[in-house]
Amino acid sequence: MAKSQSARLERKKLLGDPILITTIVVLIAFLTLFILYPLAILMVDSVVSDNGVTFDVFTRVLAMPSFSHAITNTLRVGFAVGILSALIGLLFAYVEVYVKLRTKFMTGLFRVVSMLPVVSPPFVLSLSMIMMFGKKGLITRGLLGIFDNNIYGFWGIFIVQTMSFFPVCYMMLKGLLKNIDPSLEEAARDMGASRWKVFTSVTLPLILPGLGNAFLVSFIESIADFANPMIIGGSYDTLATTIYLQITGAYDKQGAAAMAVVLLSITLLMFVVQKFVLEAKSTSTLSGKATRARMLITDNSVRIPLTILCALVALFVIGMYLCVPYGSFVRSWGSNYELTT
């Protein structure tokens, strides 16, 4: 009785706040206008034709060789990007949480590099890949003397999307690693277990649901990505680019809508698995915070290899981001690198 009365008073108090009511109304309006309404139009366009409601368009789309080829390419890239993004994110998160680096500069550098792709435009890395590894690339032609290198296709998309999406995995896994109680790992060390044994038998099982969660998030972002495959995909069609070409090239609005529904179904399925299965397991596995400070790893046999791996990724990412502003100041990229006056 007291709880229901308290809930009514709280609800009455909230409804009496004009700022809160205005905020809720604005959010609902934006949600309806920019998400629900476009989704409703998409669903209607995929099943409604001049002859009424029909699902024949899905039969036609599923029988198209271009669609089956695109969805195969999309899933292939999505799984590859999801796996490598989760591993690189785990590497950076583990180094930040567990390893004592020699200088604060290295710690800050790795932190900035792992966040930089999140705040940059999605096409910057694609443009950098072309400028560095294309037929007129700074590295391929300028340093290695390779004149016919083709960066377009699976490998170009794979590298660019991995560099774009691993920061998301890093942010997710860093919080999980911080919540692991150090006493669990120290108990294993006291019993004679090696660093690798502690990681595989204690740390990894605890974060495995979170690692799968990070994989699915990267997978969803990869298959839904349009900008990177459009710029660096070349003839390697993904579902997102095929939908775009279907409506702009073939002028098949209904077919494009049906393809978009298929893509939406895949992403929603992965989201449900990520949200209600893996996230729940991750929460139940690591539901608290570390009871005390963790003793950071100072062993050079662990610290040096992990630092080198992070440094290689960091140098690659920084080089890609420096390539674009540098290219804007030279006379002719690939042939004349003199600065403009």
Q: Tens digit of pLDDT for each residue in 253-305?
A: 888 999 999 999 998 888 888 777 766 665 555 555 555 677 888 888 889 99
The verdict on 31 and 79 lying in the same domain is no
Angle at 327 between CA 322 and CA 244, to 5 degrees: 90
Q: What is the dihedral of CA 10, 11, 17, 20, to 10 degrees?
A: 110
CB 246 within 8 A of CB 255: yes
pLDDT tens by residue, 172-200: 999 889 888 888 888 888 888 888 888 88
Range 21-48 average pLDDT: 88
DSSP string, 213-277: HHHHHHHHHHHH--HHHHHH-TT---HHHHHHHHHHTS--HHHHHHHHHHHHHHHHHHHHHIIII
The verdict on 72 and 50 lying in the same domain is no
Average pLDDT, the chain: 86
The verdict on 34 and 169 lying in the same domain is no
**Residue 61 within any structural domain of the chain:** no
Quote the tokens at residue 19.
């700022």
152 pLDDT band, cuts 50/70/90, is: very high
**Residue 285 within any structural domain of the chain:** yes
Angstrom CA distances, 217 to 167, 212, 213, 247, stand at 11, 9, 6, 28
Q: What is the dihedral of CA 278, 279, 282, 288, to 10 degrees?
A: -170
The verdict on 133 and 101 lying in the same domain is yes
User: What pLDDT score does 11 carry?
Assistant: 67
Q: How far apart are CA 119 and CA 318, in angstroms?
A: 14
The verdict on 183 and 265 lying in the same domain is yes
Provide the CATH number for the domain around residue 117: 1.10.3720.10
The verdict on 46 and 74 lying in the same domain is no
Counting the structural domains of the chain, the total is: 2
User: What are phi and psi for residue 99, nearest 5 degrees?
Assistant: -105, 135
Domain span holding position 5:
1-54
The verdict on 100 and 188 lying in the same domain is yes
Regarding beta strands 52-53 and 48-49, do their DSSP bridges make them parallel or antiparallel, or are they unpaired? antiparallel
The verdict on 47 and 71 lying in the same domain is no
The verdict on 8 and 146 lying in the same domain is no
67 pLDDT band, cuts 50/70/90, is: very high
For residue 28, pLDDT beyond 80? yes
The verdict on 10 and 152 lying in the same domain is no
pTM of the model as a whole: 0.85
The verdict on 167 and 310 lying in the same domain is yes
**Residue 201 within any structural domain of the chain:** yes
User: What are phi and psi for residue 291, nearest 5 degrees?
Assistant: -75, -25
The verdict on 36 and 97 lying in the same domain is no
